[in-house]
Amino acid sequence: MPAVGTSVVRKDGIGKATGRTKYADDLVFPDMLHGRTIRSTIARGRVTGIRYDFDTTGFTIVDWRDIPAAGRNVVALLEDDQPYLVEQEVLHLAEPIVLLAHADRETLNAATVVIEYEREEPLFDPETSGIILKSLGIDKGNVEAGMLEADVIVEGTYRTGHQEHVYIEPNGVIAVPEEGGIAIHGSIQCPFYVEKALKSLMGDDAYIRVVQTETGGGFGGKEEYPSMISGHATLLALKSGHPVKIIYDRTEDMVATTKRHPSIVRHRTGVMKDGRIVAMDVDIVIDGGAYVTLSPVVISRGGIHAAGPYRCDNTRIRGRAMFTNTPPNGAFRGFGAPQTLFAVEAHIDRVAEALEMDPVDFRELNALRPGDTTATGQILTGDCSALDVLREAVRRTDFRARREALRGTNRGIGLALFYHGAGFTGSGELRLASKAKLALTPTGVRILVSSTEIGQGTRTMHAQIVADSMGIPYEDVEVAQPDTKKVPDSGPTVASRTCMVVGRILQRCATEMRERLGNLTPAEYFARHGALEVLKEHEPPAWIQWNDDTYSGDAYATYAWGCDVAEVEIDRDTYEVRPVKFTAVQEFGKAIHPALAKGQIEGGTAQGLGFALLERVVMRDGGMANASLTNYTIPTTLDTPEMDIVILDNPYEDGPFGAKGLGELPIDGPAPAVINAIRHLAIDVREIPATPEIVYAACASR
């Protein structure tokens, strides 16, 4: 029986349901110490003194001078600007300065380190900071000529706040001295990112092994920051000679680690009276924080998605990631696209309103179709499903009739149309040159990839693809734990690429393995001939042409498409808006595992509803002031509405069994759908999270 397309039992299901699965904090190594990070309490300035106000007996104390001679004080990622430990200059609150380790956690936590500073005036406003981390421009046609031609021009500014990932398992790693170097066991999305960062810390010749332990959620939040924590644990382990465990508590995790970039997006759109869009001018500012980290890639994806899934011959997009003296913002599911898609979809409803057009009619007229070109000039083919998802969502919810029926009540209904590019942008996948490996075992076959299981179902979905490609039972496929000494580098587990890209490499490995086995089962072949391995490298579609300088060409191998419909209810006394019904129609090629795919959509939708309505990071003096789950609220069972999830098939020829990427798509739609539902209540909100304060302000200014 084929495994693909059926909801087979997930490989890691029973371990998780019985509590037997071990996560980073569940591991104990002999003579292990606990580690702790002493951080800056100011946003900008210089360290002038460090005082240890405790009995240091039994403590291991590390500062920047303990960086190995062969290494550098740099967390290697895109730019070499972020140090593991402050030398003198402090650029943001909660920046690591000193590390402590001790065998006893209570003693460790009771230690007091006093840091003295010379303060400088911090920059907190990305619009006025003046320091650009990365800028980009996308140009198509002539935007000013398009504006001159337009009958109506609609302008607007849209804002999104920080968002905290709130994986339920906080960040944590253990560094263990091994082979004269270090082994990291930790809650990690990208083991080879950590390896690269530790090479910069320890020198290229150092022994470094990175093992991913079971990971309690990631959502992008364990993409880059685990490199920092791993470096800290390594420094303490090297100095003490003991294994060192660093597990952040929730407050430290919220204050110190990355968040979604806040954004300010300005739109100016020229339309004809008949509704055709003739010019789109978009300006994006995101707050990068104090170091470059991944901001260039976030503004890139944000910029490419900023014009929305619409045809327009004259488009200008400008994007800037700005420096501020705040903890660096980073990867978060969607990676810039949820911000810019919120802005364009909230704006599109306002454009339709200005023309007195129905929002569905307006979208139907302008939605991208096969043969159309995107803002970067990519010609879409048959894998463009904008109209299909829109029409199904409208039909399914009886949208127009419902909109009429709710008029004048405390309920509103709104929709959002969106798309999400799968895999790395442009030539990124070519540069990554990801690899995957299959190895015969005495009973079947083992998958060796660095793609991590972080809850989304990597192991299960990869095993399904391999089982069907080899024609063997799903149960005969096992998946190795990601360990950089054992698995090839399959690229990071990000960008909705684990199924579409790594799954595709595995499919090619499996096809070749099947040919080499001939008529033998894996077990028979292994018994007769012994071990057999197949390693393959990703081959991106040959037609992809991308120019990094002009930001033009084929930005992504393919796109997934979605249309979300939100029905909300407002409490006219408290100004609280609650989602009451949610419909998500999404096309991502083919669902390898329908139940897991549905889980991605439901979970991404809930996270998107939090982004839209609840999740407000309060920044004070450059740091998160509400860093606890009491004061930063994510959706509970009582905040999530009934969900109707519809999966449309449209197999993509270069994906395994037709699959595209799915992980990020579901978080793009909820925020604009909700804001458009609030607009249906005649409340003009252009900022999220739309907390009661924001909704009240919008009502009061009417």
Partner 1 sequence: MRFTLNGAATEVAAHPMSRLLDVLREECNLTGTKEGCGEGECGACTVLIDGVPVVSCLVPVAQAEGHEVTTIEGLGDDHPLQHHFMNEAGAQCGICTPGMVLVASTIPADASLDDIRVALAGNLCRCTGYEAIYRAIMKAREATA
Is residue 249 at the binding interface for partner 1, with CB under 8 A as the rule?
yes
| CA 147 centroid distance within chain | 35
Lay out the sheet containing 477-479: strands in order across.
477-479, 445-448, 435-440, 533-537
Looking at the Cβ atoms of 203 and 594, the one nearer to partner 1 is 594
Is residue 338 at the binding interface for partner 1, with CB under 8 A as the rule?
no
Contact 47, 86 (CB under 8 A): yes
Q: What tokens does 221 get?
A: 């939040």
Distance CA 31, CA 243 (A): 7
Q: Which DSSP string do the residues of 17-40 spell out, in sequence order? A: HHT-PPBGGG---TTPEEEEEEE-
Q: Min. distance of Cβ 323 from partner 1 in angstroms?
A: 30
Member of 5, 12, 29, 692 binding partner 1 (CB under 8 A): 12
Pattern 17-56, partner 1, x by CB under 8 A: xxxxxxx-xx------------------------------
Q: What tokens does 572 get?
A: 């006219």
Distance CA 524, CA 1 (A): 21
Q: Min. distance of Cβ 314 from partner 1 in angstroms?
A: 39
Distance CA 175, CA 186 (A): 8
Strand partners, 269: 154, 280
Distance CA 81, CA 292 (A): 7
Please tell me whether residue 531 adopts helix, strand or coil conformation.
coil
Member of 472, 606, 659, 678 binding partner 1 (CB under 8 A): 606
Looking at the Cβ atoms of 12 and 476, the one nearer to partner 1 is 12
Give the number of C-alpha atoms closer than 13 A to the C-alpha of residue 546, restricted to the C-beta side.
19
Is residue 334 at the binding interface for partner 1, with CB under 8 A as the rule?
no
Is residue 15 at the binding interface for partner 1, with CB under 8 A as the rule?
yes
Is residue 668 at the binding interface for partner 1, with CB under 8 A as the rule?
no
Pattern 439-458, partner 1, x by CB under 8 A: ---------------xxxx-
Member of 3, 90, 108, 166 binding partner 1 (CB under 8 A): 166
Member of 9, 110, 379, 531 binding partner 1 (CB under 8 A): 9
Exposure string of 5-27, with b = 16+ CB inside 10 Å and e = fewer, is bebbebbbeeeeeeeeeebbeeb
Name the residue type at position 426.
G
Looking at the Cβ atoms of 635 and 661, the one nearer to partner 1 is 635
Q: Min. distance of Cβ 389 from partner 1 in angstroms?
A: 19
Give the number of residues in contact with partner 1, rule: CB under 8 A: 56
Is residue 266 at the binding interface for partner 1, with CB under 8 A as the rule?
no
Of 138-146, 208-216, 352-360, 678-686, the window that binds partner 1 (rule: CB under 8 A) is 208-216
Is residue 281 at the binding interface for partner 1, with CB under 8 A as the rule?
no
Q: Min. distance of Cβ 33 from partner 1 in angstroms?
A: 15
Please tell me whether residue 521 adopts helix, strand or coil conformation.
coil
Block residue for tokens 């980290």: 293
Q: Min. distance of Cβ 329 from partner 1 in angstroms?
A: 19
Q: Min. distance of Cβ 49 from partner 1 in angstroms?
A: 32
Is residue 596 at the binding interface for partner 1, with CB under 8 A as the rule?
yes
Distance CA 437, CA 447 (A): 6
Please give the backbone phi and psi of residue 192, each rounded to the nearest 5 degrees, phi first. Answer: -75, -20
Q: Min. distance of Cβ 468 from partner 1 in angstroms?
A: 19
Q: Min. distance of Cβ 195 from partner 1 in angstroms?
A: 23
Is residue 178 at the binding interface for partner 1, with CB under 8 A as the rule?
no
Exposure string of 55-87, with b = 16+ CB inside 10 Å and e = fewer, is eeeebbbbbbebbeeebbbbbbbbeeebbbbbe
Q: Min. distance of Cβ 12 from partner 1 in angstroms?
A: 7
Is residue 618 at the binding interface for partner 1, with CB under 8 A as the rule?
no
Distance CA 679, CA 503 (A): 41
Is residue 10 at the binding interface for partner 1, with CB under 8 A as the rule?
yes
Q: What tokens does 308 get?
A: 């929305």
Is residue 170 at the binding interface for partner 1, with CB under 8 A as the rule?
yes
Other Cβ atoms less than 10 A from the Cβ of 129: the count is 18
Looking at the Cβ atoms of 170 and 444, the one nearer to partner 1 is 170
Q: Min. distance of Cβ 593 from partner 1 in angstroms?
A: 8
Of 149-157, 210-218, 263-271, 312-320, the window that binds partner 1 (rule: CB under 8 A) is 210-218
Member of 16, 199, 239, 391 binding partner 1 (CB under 8 A): 16
Distance CA 662, CA 63 (A): 42
Other Cβ atoms less than 10 A from the Cβ of 516: the count is 13
Distance CA 244, CA 246 (A): 7
Residues 6+ apart with CB under 8 A from 120: 44, 45, 46
Of 6-14, 89-97, 289-297, 355-363, the window that binds partner 1 (rule: CB under 8 A) is 6-14
Block residue for tokens 């969900």: 643
**Helix 191-202 and helix 225-240, axial crossing angle in degrees, nearest 10:** 50
Strand partners, 417: 563
Other Cβ atoms less than 10 A from the Cβ of 543: the count is 10
Distance CA 102, CA 236 (A): 10
Is residue 217 at the binding interface for partner 1, with CB under 8 A as the rule?
yes
Contact 324, 125 (CB under 8 A): yes
The residue count for the chain: 702
Is residue 98 at the binding interface for partner 1, with CB under 8 A as the rule?
no
Pattern 625-644, partner 1, x by CB under 8 A: ---xxx---xxxxx-x--x-
Is residue 595 at the binding interface for partner 1, with CB under 8 A as the rule?
yes
Contact 204, 274 (CB under 8 A): no
Looking at the Cβ atoms of 27 and 78, the one nearer to partner 1 is 27
Q: Min. distance of Cβ 18 from partner 1 in angstroms?
A: 4
Q: Min. distance of Cβ 557 from partner 1 in angstroms?
A: 26
Q: Min. distance of Cβ 249 from partner 1 in angstroms?
A: 6
Contact 422, 593 (CB under 8 A): no
Distance CA 16, CA 214 (A): 10
Member of 185, 311, 316, 598 binding partner 1 (CB under 8 A): 598
Looking at the Cβ atoms of 26 and 151, the one nearer to partner 1 is 26
Looking at the Cβ atoms of 635 and 669, the one nearer to partner 1 is 635
Please give the backbone phi and psi of residue 529, each rounded to the nearest 5 degrees, phi first. Answer: -115, -10
Looking at the Cβ atoms of 349 and 569, the one nearer to partner 1 is 569
Member of 59, 64, 84, 167 binding partner 1 (CB under 8 A): 167
Looking at the Cβ atoms of 7 and 41, the one nearer to partner 1 is 7
Looking at the Cβ atoms of 231 and 455, the one nearer to partner 1 is 455
Chain residues binding partner 1 by CB under 8 A are 7, 9-10, 12-23, 25-26, 165-170, 214-219, 249-250, 454-457, 595-596, 598-599, 602-607, 628-630, 634-638, 640, 643, 645
